[in-house]
Amino acid sequence: MISSALKAKLQTLPLEPGCYLMKDKNDTIIYVGKAKKLKNRVNQYFVGAHNYKTTKLVSNIVDFDYIVTSSEKEALVLEINLIKKYRPRYNIMFMDDSSYPYIKLTHEAYPTLRVVRDAKKDRKAKYYGPFPDASAAHQTMKLLNQLYPLRKCDKMPKKLCLYYHIGQCLGPCELNVDPEIYKEISEKITRFLRGDVKDLVSELKSKMNAAVEELAFEKAREYRDLITSIEHITDKQQVQVEDNKDRDVFACYADKGYLAIQGFFIRSGKLLERQLSLTPLYGDPEEELISFLMQYYQNHPLPQEVIVPLELDIEALQEVITCKLIQPVKGYRKKLLDMASNNAKTNLLQKFEVMERQNETTEESMRQLAQKLRIPGLSRIEIFDNSHISGAFTVAGMVVFEDGLPCKNDYRLFKLHTENSDVDSMKEVLYRRYFRLLNEGGRFPDLLLVDGGLTQIEAAKEILGSLDLDIPICGLVKNDKHQTASLMNERLEIVDVEPGSPLFFLLTRMQDEVHRFAISYHRKLRQKAQTKSILDEIDGVGEVRKKKLMSTFKSFKRLKEATIEEIAQVVPQEVAERIFDTLHVEP
C-alpha cells in the first residue's frame, strides 16, 4: 500500500518529459528513470501487476523527486548523468565492466602502440578494436611491434636501447629519422588492423624463400613464425559481412525479471562477438537498452553505423549519438540483428537457471537473518574486523553487503592507533565511521555486524550510544576452529544458525570477506614498513631519486662512503648535503 502523501504527489506530476528519482526510507536514491510524460510513467509503477524484481523495487519506494526537461533528448542525457552521480542500487550500471581493450596508435612525431581501455581520452590518436579481451589485444600489439620498428618507450630515453639493437626500433632518441618513415609505418599498421594483410604476407613469404636459398634457416623460421602468427590473428574473425564498414549491432532479450544484451562489433567487415552480462531488470527493456547505449558510447568511439531493434524509440537517442542509427527490416543488417537477438536469448536461458538459484539462496539467507534478528526490511549490513600483530600495524576493515551481495565501492579501510586492545580498536573504528556519517549525512546500515562476541558488542553499544544512534548490533560467534557457529544479538542472547543453511553460508562469506579485506591491508602496511629506507625520511628524496642513488652507488654502504660532491652528481647540491648529513649523524 502506498501512502496518502505519495498518492497526492503522483497526481501533481506534469505531462512533460523529464527524469524521476525514486527514494527509500533513508531518503537514498534507489532508482533513476526518464519519461516522455512523467505523470504516465511514474504512475505505472504503482498500478497493476509487476514481475518480482519490479515489485521489490516498488516496495522500497517511500518518496520520489522529479526534474522536468525541455525535451526527451535532454531527459536522456540527464538520466545518464544522474545514474553516474548517485549510482542507484536498482539501476543497471554498465560503466564499470563495459570497457573493452583497444589498440591505440599515438599521434606523435615518433608514434607508439598501446593497449588501452579509454578510447576517447586522446582524440588525436587512432583506435582499433574493440578486442574480445586484453590478451587478444596484447597478442596483436606484440606481433605489430615485431613487424614494424615503432618506438617502444613511454618517455624518450637519452640513448639507444635494446630494441634498436634487435631491429625493433629506429632509434629516434639519438638518430635523425625521417618522419615520412613513421607515416608509412602507421599506414601499414592501419591496413593490418583493418585486415588487409595480403601484401604483407606475400612480402614475408618472399623473404622466407630468399632466406632458405641463402641457407639462413633460422631467419627463414622467424619469417615462417611471423606468417603463422598473422594468419592466426586475422583468421579469428569468423563471420564476414557484405561490405567493409565499421558497425555495432545491439539486441536484447528480457524474461522473468532479467535482461541480456548482446553486442556485435564489426570492423572492416569482420565480426567480433562480445557477450554482455545478464542483469536484473527493474524497468522497461527498451529503455534499459537505450541507457546502455548512452553509457557505452561515453567511453567508446562511434562506428560508422549502429544497428538496433525496430521496437526501440531512437528519436532522442539519434540526437545524442551522432553516428547513423539503423533499424533494419530486411537484408544482411536484419540478419545480423537477428543473430544478436538469438544470442541474447540463448545467453539468458542458459544462465538464468543458475542465477535464479543463486539469487533465491541469497534472498532466503536475508529473510532468515531478518526473521531471527527481528529486523524488518533488512537490506544493508556493515561488517567490521581488526587486524594486527602484537598491537603493531593495527588496522580495521569494513565491508558492506546489500541484499546479501557485496558492495565493494562502499568498502572502507582504517589505520588505527597502535598498541590498542581489540576492544579499543573496535571503539575507534566505529566512532570514526559513524561520526563521519553523521557529519556528512551518509546512509546508515540496517545492521551492524562485528566479528566477535560479548566484548565487541558491548564496545559497539557504547559508541553508538555516545553518538545517539539506534542501529541493531550483532556479533559473529566462532567455534574452536575459528568458524562462524552462531550469532549474538545486542541483548547478548545466542541466536543459533543451522550449519549448512543458506544463512550459515552467507555469514561465512561475510566473515571471510571482512577478514580478507582487513588482513590484506595489514600485510600491505607491514611489507611497506619492512622495505622502508632511511632515505624516505630525507626531504627532497622521492622514489625516482632513491632509485637513481641506488643505481649509481649500488649499495647503501657505498652511498654512505661517498662525498657530498659525488652525491651531488646524482641529485641537486642541497639534497646531496641533506643526504650526507643524515647518513653521518653521530649515534
Q: Is the peptide bond before 130 cis (omega within 30 degrees of 0)?
A: yes
Q: Choose one of 61, 86, 111: the last residue of a domain.
A: 86
pLDDT of residue 250: 92
Q: Are residues 324 and 342 in the same domain?
A: yes
pLDDT in tens, 430-465: 999 999 999 888 889 999 998 877 888 999 999 999
Beta strand pairing call for 447-450 and 473-478: parallel
Q: Choose one of 202, 236, 270: the last residue of a domain.
A: 236
Cell of 148: 614494424
pLDDT of residue 38: 92
Q: Are residues 343 and 459 in the same domain?
A: no
CATH number of the domain that residue 547 is part of: 1.10.150.20
pLDDT of residue 538: 82
Q: Are residues 453 and 560 in the same domain?
A: no
Cell of 76: 536522456
pLDDT of residue 93: 59
Distance of CA 561 to CAs 135, 434, 540, 579, 585, Å?
48, 53, 20, 12, 13
Find how far residue 548's CA is from the centre of its chain: 35
Q: Does position 26 have pLDDT exceeding 90, yes or no?
A: no
pLDDT of residue 480: 67
pLDDT of residue 298: 78
Q: What share of the chain is helix, strand, coil (3-state, %, to 5)?
A: 45, 20, 35
Do residues 253 and 345 touch, judged by C-beta distance below 8 A? yes
Q: Does position 327 have pLDDT exceeding 80, yes or no?
A: yes
- Is there a domain that residue 363 lies in? no
Q: Is 22 exposed, middle or buried (0-12, 13-18, 19+ CB in 10 A)?
A: buried
Q: Give the pLDDT mean for 569-584.
A: 86
3-state DSSP call for residue 31?
strand
Above pLDDT 70, what percent of the chain?
87
Q: Are residues 260 and 208 in the same domain?
A: no
pLDDT of residue 451: 81
pLDDT of residue 381: 93
> What residue ranges in 289-432 does DSSP mark as E strands?
305-307, 324-326, 380-389, 392-402, 405-406, 412-415
Q: How far is it, in rounded angstroms, from Cα 399 to Cα 424?
A: 20
- Is there a domain that residue 268 lies in? yes
- Is there a domain that residue 372 lies in? no
Q: Does position 345 have pLDDT exceeding 80, yes or no?
A: yes
Beta strand pairing call for 305-307 and 247-255: parallel
CATH number of the domain that residue 507 is part of: 3.30.420.340
Q: How far is it, in rounded angstroms, from Cα 47 to Cα 39?
A: 13
pLDDT of residue 95: 46
- Is there a domain that residue 486 lies in? yes
Q: Does position 172 have pLDDT exceeding 80, yes or no?
A: yes
Do residues 298 and 291 touch, judged by C-beta distance below 8 A? no
Question: Could you tell me the pLDDT band of residue 52, with boundaries at 50, 70 and 90?
Answer: low
pLDDT in tens, 86-126: 888 888 655 444 466 788 888 888 888 888 877 666 777 88
Per the model's pLDDT, the better-predicted residue between 427 and 237 turns out to be 427
Other Cβ atoms closer than 10 A to 365:
20
Q: Does position 2 have pLDDT exceeding 80, yes or no?
A: no
pLDDT of residue 220: 81
Other Cβ atoms closer than 10 A to 383:
25
Beta-bridged to residue 32, according to DSSP, are 21
Question: Could you tell me the pLDDT band of residue 257, with boundaries at 50, 70 and 90?
Answer: confident
Q: Does position 232 have pLDDT exceeding 70, yes or no?
A: no
Q: Is 69 exposed, middle or buried (0-12, 13-18, 19+ CB in 10 A)?
A: buried
Q: Choose one of 182, 213, 236: the last residue of a domain.
A: 236
pLDDT in tens, 269-319: 666 656 666 777 777 888 888 888 888 887 778 888 999 999 888 888 888
Q: Are residues 521 and 540 in the same domain?
A: no
Q: Are residues 400 and 435 in the same domain?
A: yes
Question: Could you tell me the pLDDT band of residue 353, with boundaries at 50, 70 and 90?
Answer: low
Angle formed by the axes of helices 502-530 and 331-373, nearest 10°:
100
Full domain range(s) for residue 560: 534-583
Per the model's pLDDT, the better-predicted residue between 145 and 33 turns out to be 33
* DSSP symbol at 443: P
Assign residue 199 a region (left: φ > 0; alpha: ψ between -120 and 50; beta: otherwise): alpha
Q: Are residues 164 and 257 in the same domain?
A: no
pLDDT of residue 96: 46
pLDDT in tens, 53-75: 778 888 889 899 999 998 888 88
Q: How far is it, in rounded angstroms, from Cα 421 to Cα 408?
A: 28
CATH number of the domain that residue 69 is part of: 3.40.1440.10
pLDDT of residue 271: 66
Amino acid type, 363: E
- Is there a domain that residue 97 lies in? no
- Is there a domain that residue 362 lies in? no
pLDDT of residue 239: 46
Residue with cell 587478444: 136
Q: Are residues 524 and 385 in the same domain?
A: yes
**What does the mean pLDDT of the chain come to?**
81
- How many CA atoms lie less than 13 Å away from 508 in the CB half-sphere? 15
How many domains would you assign to the chain? 5
Q: Which of 405-414, 497-506, 538-547, 578-587 has the lowest mean pLDDT?
A: 578-587
Find how far residue 301's CA is from the centre of its chain: 19
Q: How far is it, in rounded angstroms, from Cα 207 to Cα 219?
A: 9
SS (H, E, C) 236-295: CCCEECCCCCCEEEEEEEEECCEEEEEEEEEECCEEEEEEEEEEECCCCHHHHHHHHHHH
Instruction: Say which residues have a Cβ less than 8 Å from residue 117's Cβ, sequence separation at least 6.
Output: 99, 100, 101, 102
Question: Could you tell me the pLDDT band of residue 532, with boundaries at 50, 70 and 90?
Answer: low
CATH number of the domain that residue 275 is part of: 3.30.420.10
Do residues 193 and 103 touch, judged by C-beta distance below 8 A? yes
pLDDT of residue 97: 45
Q: Are residues 196 and 169 in the same domain?
A: yes
Beta-bridged to residue 476, according to DSSP, are 487
pLDDT of residue 149: 85
Distance of CA 166 to CAs 203, 229, 246, 412, 561, Å?
20, 19, 36, 48, 39
Question: Could you tell me the pLDDT band of residue 237, with boundaries at 50, 70 and 90?
Answer: very low
Distance of CA 249 to CAs 289, 311, 319, 343, 535, Å?
12, 14, 19, 12, 56
3-state DSSP call for residue 7?
helix
Q: Which of 16-20, 184-188, 222-226, 381-385 has the lowest mean pLDDT?
A: 222-226
Q: Give the pLDDT mean for 206-221.
A: 82
Q: Are residues 271 and 339 in the same domain?
A: yes
- Is there a domain that residue 173 lies in? yes
Residue with cell 546500515: 445
Other Cβ atoms closer than 10 A to 514:
28
Dmax (CA) for the chain in angstroms is 92
Cell of 81: 548523468
Do residues 86 and 65 touch, judged by C-beta distance below 8 A? no
Above pLDDT 90, what percent of the chain?
13
pLDDT of residue 144: 81
Distance of CA 91 to CAs 13, 22, 29, 94, 537, Å?
22, 11, 10, 9, 48
pLDDT of residue 448: 92
Which DSSP helix (H) or strand (E) runs through 98?
none
Q: Are residues 400 and 523 in the same domain?
A: yes
Does the CA dihedral 479-484-490-493 come out positive or negative?
negative
pLDDT in tens, 382-421: 999 888 766 567 888 999 998 888 888 899 999 887 667 8
Q: Are residues 402 and 431 in the same domain?
A: yes
- Is there a domain that residue 360 lies in? no
